[in-house]
């Protein structure tokens, strides 16, 4: 095989490798802002269970708000998010606008409604870390909550 054929063959394999690497899995399109807030982490997740326990007042007294979520992918972190989220781990999330489809009754001033999520549904969202200081035990407990998400297929 002469030099020109080797060069052509090498170029062909390089081109194939380049095309295959460019077709990697991408996250679905989202309506979330491109910048992630400092205290947030953007994840894609799947709802694996929903707690039926309700709060005594507010929207979470009428609809479920807490779910256990499998983290399918960590898309990014805000600059102040110091606790890493691990892919494939399960975390408990409080959905501040409930897991039900948002309604005019519960959220009359909400500009962008949410479709609601049920077990098995996938979503992309920005989760916020909340550190709760427990004075009696002198310890810190970390909880996660979410205000904004997009349901994905």
For 115-144, how does the pLDDT look when each residue is reduced to its tens digit (9 = 90+)? 999 999 999 999 998 888 877 777 777 889
Backbone angles phi, psi at 152, to 5 degrees: -125, 165
What six digits make up the tokens of 120?
A: 């098995």
Torsion sign (Cα): 119, 37, 39, 42: positive
Tell me the residue range of the domain where 87 lies. 27-152
**Residue 17 is assigned to a structural domain of this protein:** no
**Residue 11 is assigned to a structural domain of this protein:** no
**Residue 137 is assigned to a structural domain of this protein:** yes
**Residue 60 is assigned to a structural domain of this protein:** yes
Contact of 126 with 36, CB cutoff 8 Å: yes
**Residue 146 is assigned to a structural domain of this protein:** yes
How many structural domains are present in the chain? 1
Distance, C-alpha 123 to centroid of its chain: 6
**Residue 102 is assigned to a structural domain of this protein:** yes
**Residue 16 is assigned to a structural domain of this protein:** no
**Residue 110 is assigned to a structural domain of this protein:** yes
For 96-118, how does the pLDDT look when each residue is reduced to its tens digit (9 = 90+)? 999 999 888 888 888 888 999 99
CATH number at residue 123: 2.40.50
Q: Whole-structure pTM over 0.85, yes or no?
A: no
């Amino acid at each position: 095989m002469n030099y020109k054929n080797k060069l052509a063959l090498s170029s062909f394999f390089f081109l194939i490798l380049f095309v295959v690497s460019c077709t990697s899995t991408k996250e679905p399109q989202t309506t979330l802002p491109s910048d992630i807030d400092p205290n947030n982490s953007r994840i894609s997740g799947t709802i694996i269970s929903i707690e039926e326990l309700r709060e005594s007042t507010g929207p979470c007294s009428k609809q479920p708000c807490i779910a256990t979520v499998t983290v399918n992918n960590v898309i990014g972190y805000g600059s102040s998010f110091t606790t890493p989220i691990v892919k494939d781990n399960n975390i408990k999330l409080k959905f501040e606008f409930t897991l039900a489809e948002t309604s005019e009754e519960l959220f009359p001033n909400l500009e962008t409604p949410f479709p609601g999520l049920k077990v098995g549904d996938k979503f992309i969202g920005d989760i916020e870390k909340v550190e709760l200081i427990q004075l009696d035990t002198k310890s810190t407990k970390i909880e996660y909550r979410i205000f904004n998400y997009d349901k994905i297929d």
